[in-house]
Amino acid sequence: MRNNANFISNLATHVYSDDWSEKAANKLKAELRLSGVGYGELVTRLAQIGVEDTYKGVATKITRGRFTFAFFMQCMKALGKNEVRLD
């Protein structure tokens, strides 16, 4: 019974985490669209602030929604965004 409870708890955490990952990816994609910046330009702008990455690396992170908050902050800085609304 205990193993079942752990499985359900882990599953709920995973689903919850994926939901937030999707929200973060959607927010980043929206900010890119609003700025008129594609992945290639984002790579260039990231390099200008000292963040080295490839087009494929950036595209994969954003498409999958698997990136750190640090990466999100770097992208916002590269886009010239000092504030981000979470709603």
What is the residue extent of each domain of the chain? 2-78
Collect all residues with Cβ–Cβ distance below 8 Å to 62 and sequence separation of at least 6: 25, 28, 29, 32, 39
The Cα–Cα gap between 82 and 51 comes to: 17
- pLDDT given for residue 8 in this prediction: 57
On the question of pLDDT at 17 being above 90, the answer is no
> Count of CB atoms within 10 A of residue 4's CB?
8
Looking at residue 43, its pLDDT comes to: 99
Q: What is the reported pTM? A: 0.78
pLDDT on residue 15: 53
Tell me the C-alpha distance between 67 and 48, whole Å: 20
pLDDT interval class at 86 (50, 70, 90): confident
Quick check: 53 and 33 in contact, CB under 8 A? no
Residue that wins the pLDDT comparison between 18 and 51: 51
87 confidence band (pLDDT: 50, 70, 90): confident
Phi, psi of 63 (to 5 degrees): -60, -45
